[in-house]
Structure 1
Amino acid sequence: MNKPIPAPDAPQPIPGARLLFSNDASVAQLNHGSFGMVPIAVQRAQQRLRDEMEANPHRFFSVGLEERITHVRRHLATFVGADPDGSALVNNASTGTSIVLSSLGLAADDEIVTTDHGYGAVDLAVDEICRRTGAVHRVAPVPLVADDATVTAAVLAAITPRTRLVIVDLITAATAQVFPVRRIIEAVRAAHGERVAIHIDAAHGPGLLDEPVRELDADFWVGNLHKWAYAPRGTALLAVAPAWRARIRPLVLSWSTEAGFPASLEWLGAHDYTPWLAAPTGLFVLRSLGLETVRRHNTALAEHGRRLVADALGVEVLPATGLPMTLVPLPPGVAADLTSAVALRRRISDELSAEVGLAAWHGRGYLRLSAQVYNRVDDFQRLADGLPKLIR
């Protein structure tokens, strides 16, 4: 058993922050990174929009809606440092990635490069487009703990003369690692110029890291606002470089298809637009608490909590990443494949009243624990107290 490393001091709660959310306090909600948690003020803003829509649907959809969507897009794009005219609102990061894949015009033997830390739904989308077009999916293996140079070298090594697209995570979903996307983009550009397009999957980026999109020089970037920016679920932003905007095609054709990007992606007919329209209220809540205050609190609490859980399990403590979403290895043989990982996550929910992220990666199970302003040390302590007995 590894010698335990004392957990760093837990941060003081942000006064009043817990009251801003309506989550069930009897459940240790330690999986904010998956579905987020919508503040009460944002829920109410969205409900007012729903009421407006239902009071007169014809007027809601036909008078001024496109202008309202444009206003929200400009607000959210400014927050992440993207070009508002080169961005489009989409439902989530997976939707944005599927739009990119379907717009590339792939042919047989073209290649798409991802890493073995990529999000499962993105891998499925890549495999499906390869099946339909004859393209090839190449996966760059990256160690769980790797410095920036190692990650960059691994991606470069997977690129061949047939590579059309590289997809890199800003923050990896399963393994909660920060990838050096700026360095990777610069290295790919230096080696291959504009021949290889680069797509940044920043599903966890908005609200979590300062990564101004316009300075990255990526061809495509997509990020969710519902995870760490307090927007309603179903709110994401896809940013596209100027050279690609005319080639972007929506997954579903509607009345604005001929208007081109971004309207062709944003107008979906009788779609529920209330998550998008309420999203700026989420940014207002985040800024009212203080963006840096929230980040410092959540990161410190996550670090404290993962040390508690790792100590209780007698497992190694991985290097800190400075994120409020952290990784704890499970003992060897526990949740080592997808089926057993799903089963253990459900048992943790049912028997410990705790919600966690749990993934099997390269034959080992990992807990992914998130901290948010509504969490307390007791949430992590409950997991630390109950999980060792449960997995035995």
Structure 2
Amino acid sequence: MDILLGILAIIITFGLAFLMSNNKKKINFIGVGVMLVLQLLITWFMFSTSLGQNIITGIANAFNKLIEFGQEGIGFVVNGFVLEEGGVFFFNVLLLIIFFSTLLSVLTYLKILPIIIKYIGAAISKITGLPRIESFNGVNSIFFGQSEALIAIRSQFHHLTENRLYIISASAMSSVSASIVGSYMLMLPEEYILVALPLNMFSCLMISSIIAPVNVPKEQDKVDIKEVSTDKSIFEAMGNGALEGGKIALIVAAMLMAFIASLELVNWIIQLIFAGVTIEEILGYVFYPIGILMGIAPNEVLEAGSIMGTKIVTNEFVAMSLFEPLTEQLSEKTVGIVTVFLTSFANFSSIGIIAGTVKGIDSAKAVIVSKFGMKLLAGSILVSILSATIVGLFL
């Protein structure tokens, strides 16, 4: 029964994307079909084979080792604070972003990441028929945040039509930055966080290429990685990466304080009118039918739905912090589905972040992004639903 509901959820997700499409006749159904098969194969391989599980374990162990290195640096600076479960969230979780951001900056300066991303993107473009820039940006968005991923292709922005701009913006919203993956893994099961990264890339390329189909001439489809890093030395890369990571950590901390306080304020206002009712419960009922289709058990779907809804109206860090204490009470399947759903930047605030970044690159195109902002969020929610549903089929 769960498999049938999952298949129905996939059909409905693609159906909604099709209804949102601005050019239904130009949709590359073959490319979408190929990516769906690849997505199913990747999920099956990761969850249903010993080799796939060993790969996930190996990657998780590598991240955990990097987390240890990061905690050494944090421990030196905040000596006297205990870095353990239940400790200070800012020190335990958010400051790790600084080390991961530094590492990404160095790998980018050394051209290691850009070359890997370029060739993986080229392979995806070859297999699926999608343009190279969109494929490159899809892979690039796994590693870098919304702003950084868009800035990496700024030299190609003059080639981007409205539909192409939609796809690259969707990739930025439907992904997460590798610099904060380590922080996520300290809150929720690491295997689901890691699997969500490639699944969201494929889900986004499928959904966005249905909503905004593109057909690009070869002369307008080149990827230039020369401008990815402007650092002049490895030490400058380390310094800039650390500063960027520190800025992200402070921004996340500020947003968490603002959003969680705002949730409490909204709940207080609601309870003045409807005693005992919270915004989380309301969101749980809104997401109830979606959760059932995704494969969440009926007795757990209200709690799960409230977390998913909270993520959309706030951000993934707020939702993860609320979901973390619930993971031991819920089934493994529900935990997996919700964790994958939460692992993306799909929320209202991301519209402003992406539009602001595009404005810094090309002010005329920022107007276009602002115009399709709500459509961008709707598509990215479908991406999260699709990825989480795929995972649910194998749990």
Name the TM-score, length of structure 2 as normaliser: 0.24
Q: Which has the higher strand share?
A: 1
